Amino acid sequence: MKTLAVLTLGFTIVVPAFGAEHIHPAFALKDWAGNTVFDEAAGVSDMTTCGQCHDTAYIQAHNTHKEHGQDVSCFQCHLKGGLEGLEPEDFNGQGLLKKPMTPPDCNTCGQCHGMVHQDKKFLEIGPEILEGKEVGPFGRTLQTGEIFSPQIITFSHIDLKDKYKLDYPWDIHAERGVHCTACHFPANDPARPDLTTRKGPKHLKRDPRTLDLGSYLKKPDHRFAAAQCEACHDTVKAHPNLPYPRRHMEALSCQACHVPTLRGPALESTDRTVVTSKNGPRMTFRGVDVGHGPDYPNTWFYKGYSPALLHEGGKDRFAPFNLVTTWQWIEGDSGEPVPFETVRKAFKGEDGEYLPGLKALFDKNHDGRIDSSELVLDSRDKTDAIRTRLESLGVKSPRIVGTVGSHPIRHGVVAGKWVENDCRTCHGVESRFNEAIPLASGPFPGGVSPTLDKKTKALIAGRRLEDRGGGLVLGGNEEPEGHYVLGHSRRPWSDWFGFWVFVLSVLGVAVHGTMRMLSRRKHAQAPGGTLEKVYMYGVYERIWHWTMALGIIMLLLTGFQIHYSQGFALMAFPTAVFVHNFFAVVLLINAFLGMFFHLATGEIRQFIPEGAGLLRRLWIQAVFYGKGIFAGASHPFLKTRMHKLNPLQQFTYVGLLNVLFPFQVVTGLLLWLAGLMPEDTVAFGGLSVVAPLHNLGSWMFLSFLVVHVYLTTTGHTITSNIKAMFTGWDISEDEPHETSRGEAS
Partner 1 sequence: MKTLKPVRGVVLGIASAALVAVVVWWSVGTKADDARPTLPAPRPHLDHSAFFNQPFKNGVDVTKACLKCHQDEAKELHDTPHWQWLGDEEKIPGRDGKVRIGKKNVINNFCISIKGNWSSCTKCHAGYGWKDQDFDFDDTSHMDCLVCHDHSGGYAKDKAGWPRKDSDLLAAAKSVGYPTRTACGSCHNYGGGGLAVKHGDLDSTLDNPDPEDDVHMGKYGFTCVDCHGGKGHTIKGKTISVSTNDENGIGCADCHGAAPHESERLNQHADKVACQTCHIPTFANSIPTKMWWDWSKAGDDTRKDDIHHYLKIKGEFRYASHVTPEYYWFDGTAERYLLGDRIPDEGPVRINHPVGDRDIPGARIWPFKVHRGKQIFDTVNRTLLAPLTSGKGGFWHDFDWDKALRLAVKYTGLPYSGHYGFVKTEMYWPINHMVQPKNKALRCVDCHGPQGRLDWKALGYPGDPMNEGVRP
239 belongs to the binding site for partner 1 (CB under 8 A): no
Name the nearest CA neighbour of 662 among 591, 590, 741, 739. 591
Which one of 60-68, 73-81, 173-181, 187-195 is the stretch in contact with partner 1 (CB under 8 A)?
173-181
Measured from the CB atom, the residue of 458 and 571 that comes closer to partner 1 is 571
Residue closer to partner 1 by CB (options 284, 720) is 720
Cβ neighbours of residue 624 closer than 8 Å, sequence gap 6 or more: 633, 635, 636, 745
d(CA 30, CA 8): 26
Enumerate residues 524-543 that contact partner 1 by CB under 8 A. Answer: 539, 542-543
Q: How far is the CB of 453 from partner 1 (least distance, A)?
A: 37
Measured CA to CA, the distance from residue 156 to residue 141 in angstroms comes to 16
For residues 489 and 432, is the Cβ–Cβ distance under 8 A?
Answer: no
252 to 218, 426, 461: CA distances (angstroms): 39, 11, 16
Task: Single out the residue of 383, 547, 565, 714 in contact with partner 1 (rule: CB under 8 A).
Answer: 547
**Nearest-approach distance from CB 236 to partner 1, in angstroms:** 17
Q: Is 578 in the site for partner 1 (CB under 8 A)?
A: yes
Which of these ranges, 205-213, 574-582, 643-651, 695-703, lies near partner 1 under the rule CB under 8 A? 574-582
* Whether 686 contacts 670, CB under 8 Å: no
- Which one of residues 119, 341, 353, 743 is an interface residue with partner 1 (CB under 8 A)? 119
Please state the separation of Cα 720 from the chain's center in Å: 54
List 117, 179, 192, 639, residue binding partner 1 (CB under 8 A): 179
User: Helices 340-347 and 380-392 meet at what angle, rounded to 10?
Assistant: 110
Query: Judged by CB under 8 A, which of 74, 160, 579, 687 binds partner 1?
Result: 579
Question: Of 168, 165, 48, 148, which Cα lies nearest the Cα of 105?
Answer: 148
Dist CA 633 CA 643 (whole Å)? 20
Minimum CB separation of residue 79 from partner 1 in Å reads: 16
Which of 499, 582, 630, 653 lies at the binding interface for partner 1 (CB under 8 A)?
582
Q: Does 416 bind partner 1 (CB under 8 A)?
A: yes
Enumerate residues 294-313 that contact partner 1 by CB under 8 A.
none
Closest approach of partner 1 to the CB of residue 175, in Å: 5
CA dist., res. 372 & res. 577, Å (int):
51
Number of residues lying near partner 1 (CB under 8 A): 39
**C-beta of 104 vs 398, nearer to partner 1:** 104
What 3-state class would DSSP assign to 99? coil
**Comparison of 520 and 542: residue with beta carbon closer to partner 1:** 542
- CB nearer to partner 1: pick between 17 and 187: 17
By the rule CB under 8 A, 574 interacts with partner 1: yes
Exactly one of 238, 419, 448, 554 binds partner 1 (CB under 8 A); that residue is 554
Site string for partner 1, 133-172 (x = CB under 8 A): -----------------x-x-x------------x-x---
Going by C-beta distance under 8 Å and a sequence separation of 6 or more, which residues neighbour residue 632?
Answer: 519, 520, 523, 524, 525, 526
Measured between alpha carbons, how far is 190 from 220 in angstroms, rounded to an integer?
Answer: 10
Nearer to partner 1, 16 or 95 (CB): 16
Judged by beta carbon, residue 179 or residue 463, the one nearer partner 1 is 179
Q: How many helices (H) and strands (E) does the chain have?
A: 27, 16
719 binds partner 1 per the rule CB under 8 A: no
For residue 486, what are the CA distances in angstroms to 167, 405, 478, 489, 694? 32, 30, 11, 6, 11
Q: From residue 297, give the alpha-carbon distance in Å to each of 264, 326, 412, 444.
A: 10, 21, 20, 24
Give me the helix-helix angle, 687-711 and 661-676, nearest 10°. Answer: 150
Q: Does 546 bind partner 1 (CB under 8 A)?
A: yes
C-beta separation of 419 from 260 below 8 A: yes
Which of 5, 8, 11, 16 binds partner 1 (CB under 8 A)? It is 16
Give the interface with partner 1 as residue ranges (CB under 8 A): 15-19, 105, 118-120, 150, 152, 154, 167, 169, 174-177, 179, 416, 539, 542-543, 546-547, 550, 554, 571-572, 574-575, 578-579, 582, 586, 726-729
